[in-house]
Amino acid sequence: MCGIVAGVSGQNIVPLLIDGLKRLEYRGYDSAGIALLQKGEILRLRAQGKVQSLEEKVREAKPSAHTGIAHTRWATHGIPSEINAHPHVSGKIALVHNGIIENYQLLREELQGAGFKFSSQTDTEVVAHLINFYYMKEQDFLTAVRKASQRLEGAYALAVICADRPDEVIGLRRGSPLVLGLSDSQGIFVASDIFALLAITRSYLTLEQGELVHVQGKGYQLYDS
Ligand code: GLU
């Protein structure tokens, strides 16, 4: 069972995300990663093994950002490795994923046919390319995530960011758990469980099956399936 922690904060989100990942370590994992929105670009750092290895990379890179997604992976498709670690990126889209995409093989062939190049062995990378495919077509972040999710079979939770949307995160729950944490001082977060957010807030709500949350700065909107 892997872990997701992501959010939009008024302050540097990096230490909050790393703290969240450490609090998710009890769930078990084989690698960890983080993606941040910095000056309209996606900065991604990943490491096989412990969150501490990721933390060392973060310490060297010294990133600072208000918006980010972070993940501890428990491999189901593809070996534990840095290349297979999340976040996965396609164009302006980056995401972390918990669970399994059952129809990933079919989608992979379809996306390869459309010219997308795969760099990992995961089922997750299909989702990144699929959202990017719809984003390039629709030029709308929320629409792209919704259209892609309609094509996915399986049980999963996702947290997604878009380089064109500096203060936004979209969280989606279908099967795997996801909570929304709210803090006036620290921001709005999504996570696999409340333990990830204990240093940030005790105020949270659990997303229902099929629910999507669109965090935009200090506000958020919930959508049912
Ligand atoms: N199926 C995905 C993978 O193998 C996600 C696994 C997880 O939930 O950590 O990368």
What confidence tens digit (pLDDT) does each residue in 47-74 have? Answer: 999 999 999 999 999 999 999 999 999 9
Q: How many CB atoms lie within 10 A of CB 27?
A: 16
Q: Which residues pair with 100 in a beta bridge?
A: 155
Tokens 């977060």 belong to 189
Tell me, what's the pLDDT at 2? 86
Question: What pLDDT is attached to residue 225?
Answer: 81
pLDDT score for 4: 98
The per-residue pLDDT for 216 is: 98
215 Cα: distance to centroid of ligand 1 (angstroms): 23
Q: What is the pLDDT of residue 1?
A: 66
Q: In DSSP terms, which residues pair with 213 in a beta bridge?
A: 171, 222
Q: Are 27 and 213 in contact (CB under 8 A)?
A: no
Q: Which of 27, 51, 74 to mutate to test the pocket of ligand 1 (most atoms within 8 A of CB)?
A: 74
Pocket test for ligand 1, best of 69, 71, 86, 178 (most atoms within 8 A of CB): 86
Number of the ligand 1 atom closest to the C-alpha atom of 75: 4
Pocket residues: Cβ below 6 A from ligand 1: 2, 73-78, 84, 97-100, 122-124
For 127-166, give one letter per residue: b (16+ CB within 10 A) or e. Answer: bbbbbbbbbeeeeebbebbbbbbebbeeebbbbbbbbebb
Show the low-confidence residues of the chain (pLDDT under 50): none
Residue to mutate (ligand 1; options 27, 123, 126, 127; most atoms within 8 A of CB): 123
Cα 108 to ligand 1 centre (Å): 16
Cβ neighbours of residue 178 closer than 8 Å, sequence gap 6 or more: 4, 157, 159, 171, 172, 190, 191, 192, 206, 207
Name the pTM for this structure: 0.98
For residue 57, how far is its CA from the centre of ligand 1 (angstroms)? 22
Closest atom of ligand 1 to CA, residue 86: 10
